[in-house]
Structure 1
Amino acid sequence: MTDAVRESGVRRRSRALLTHPVTLWGAFVLVHLVLGLICLTAPSLPMGDVTLVYAYWMHRGFDDGIWVGIDTSWVYPLLAIVPMALSTLFGWTFYASTWLTLALIADAAAFAVLLHRGRPTRETAAAAWWWIVFLAAVGPVVLGRIDTFATALAIVGVLLVVGRPALGAVLLTAAAWIKVWPAALVAGAVIALRSRLTVLASAAATSAVVLAVGLILGGGASLVSFVTEQSGRGLQIESVLAVPAMWAAWAHAGTSVYYDRQILTYQLQGPGTELAASLSTPLLALAVGAVVVLGIVGARRGHPSARLLPPLLLALTVALIAFNKVGSPQFAGWLAVPVIFGLVAARLEGGPSFRVPAVLALLIAGLTQVVYPYWYGKLLSLDPVLLVALTARNVLYLALFAWALVALVDAIRTEPELT
């Protein structure tokens, strides 16, 4: 046997091992168990939102009969109550561990769909390994926020929406009723898919059902309070727009960090911070509007969804992060949805290569974990090393947005396929 033949055999065996369901599922579960252990034991409280805020809301609901989003205004859409309430199944003592178990189940369902119901191919295995590494790179916050459930549901939705537009739209809309941002994915599907009327009708019907249930439960205007509830927020320290102000605070140039007890987050005050916060909404609208226009142009030219939809979804998702006055670390987890879709589309449907955004997203995830949760205190004290890490992370968000725009323009400029 020649060395070349022997080496070829080793490669085949290695590839078979890496694409085997047992290997993939083992790595997937291991990452969740490690992150879950960190969530439960880390002194920096990466599960603080779950154990302190979500549990408090559920206490008010079950003990006092006052339900957020129904009886009072709320920062989240109505379906966000579901995983928060389900986490009480085994009592308040096990609230955090029940939450993590539900998060594992939700991610596992998305993982199974990604692997074609547990039967991975070389194409889907590559995207699955990327997601496993991405989860580890983002760190414990990827499991310790309500975004976990919206993201898992959105992954399933985008993987199904092209072939089964009605079901995909229902899932994406349900995800948006947990955390608003997947609504951008619905918009992207309406723009790029020829079955846009099916997507639109399914999304409208799903929203109608959610609102009807909310009304039956006694809700009124509170059901849509999430639309305006966060309008009064200031400039959050981790947002892309806050980078100049954070360095100004480090230089003692009149800007400082403070804790907003109403919003429960760290924000900036000082020269230019109010202006930056007020500009964030029009900037966000402008960025999203530009992406939407490009998507419509591409759709009108008859470009196939496999080429147009991946960069469109990525651009919409990153725009919601990069031009937002809020910059929570869990936002990095949103990137899993368009990147996984892009990787699968590139392998199976001839879409544009997603290697560059896959790498950029991993770098963003790793830098996010550097900042939060382990050394967040150093960031609050304006440690220059953490400021450099935060700045680099936010510059990468802008680079990822630029890549998505260029890819979208390239998709539009390419001659559409004749059918």
Structure 2
Amino acid sequence: MQAQISKKRDDVELKQINSMVTEAKAVTDQVFNDDLIVKGSACVGLDCVNGESFGFDTIRMKENNIRIKAQDTSSSASFPTNDWQITFNDSGNGGLNRFSVENIDTGKTPFSIIGGAPSNALYVQSNGNVGFGTSTPVVQMHSKDGNTPTLRLEQDGSAGFSAQTWDIAGNETNFFVRDATNGSKLPFRIQANASNNSIYVASDGDIGFETSTPDGQFDIAHSANANNHAFLVSPTSNVGVNIDNGFLPNGLFDVQTTGGVSNFTVTETGVYVKNAILPGASAPSDERLKQNIVALTDATNVLMKVYPKSYFYREDIIKKYGFSDRKQFGVVAQELEKVLPELVTSKDLGQGDFYKTVDYNSLIPILIQALKEQKLRIDELEGEVSNYAALDNRLNALEAQLNSKNKNAKR
């Protein structure tokens, strides 16, 4: 390995240079065709003086424009040739006090430290942890500041996209994301001392609130028991409210009680409401909504073929759907279907179980018509009774007259 260095100027020459003598004495460059070893310290620069006090310095550079340039003279196309330079401070009046690494070939400065930077502005620990503002980084990247340490992500528009700046920061109040471009709005915040698993995203994308085991696409744990669900969007996208652990919504939307019993269920075929109270409920019945209107007839004969019964729901059905365990009154769907099939349908009562149901409301018009038919029949019978009463009165009057004549004849 060969190295070259200019021979140190003598004191007279240094004095001439420092005094700005116009006729400087030429100094012949010294070339050493072997390694150069200096047992001591070395000073390089126009302002080095004889008797320089080095202290602990091994190499000192001393003048008003200090640069270290690495000039690569590789000539083969397969070798890198980039030239680099370490720059100490700007050379112009009012320039920056800086330590920089410059890419001479591109004219860019990828790394700079500005004078006045605080201690440990950048600190790399032996284990690779990086500290910003701390010499004891405890994680891979550790930022420390007296007030709201912040990471800024700035898109400057240089690539043709709209400029946008986001800040990720935290302080004694909360951890937050700040939209610095749009009025420093805070669209996302987590208060200090938030509970474990306040927001949890599982590996399959399911989201849990105060639970690390979401049982569906969206799971809000119940306040009384974190294993249960105050609100649950199931894996099949059904929505449930108050769902116990191990149970799922029994329809598109399902409100349950303890043990998976449904109080209100919306399925693809209808709505199920347990013990419904619907004050003021009504059905659309405007004449302008209807066509093919036909008056009911012979309702009495139809109802004579309907056989009301009393019954109890099976115990397993009571447990599964929360039906009442009290005596019920109604009709059997399969029997009614033979007489009035329009009033019987098959619906999902939850959990994919289809059973026949009866439209009791539609029985009301038939009952009304049957009542009217009975009223007409009663009116007819009452008319006949009135006729019989009048005839009876006439017979009684005739009988009285005959009896009276018979008595007069005997005299």
TM over 0.5: no
Q: Which has the higher contact order (CA 8 A, sep 6+)?
A: 1
More strand by share: 2
Q: Which has the larger radius of gyration?
A: 2
TM norm structure 1: 0.17
More helix by share: 1
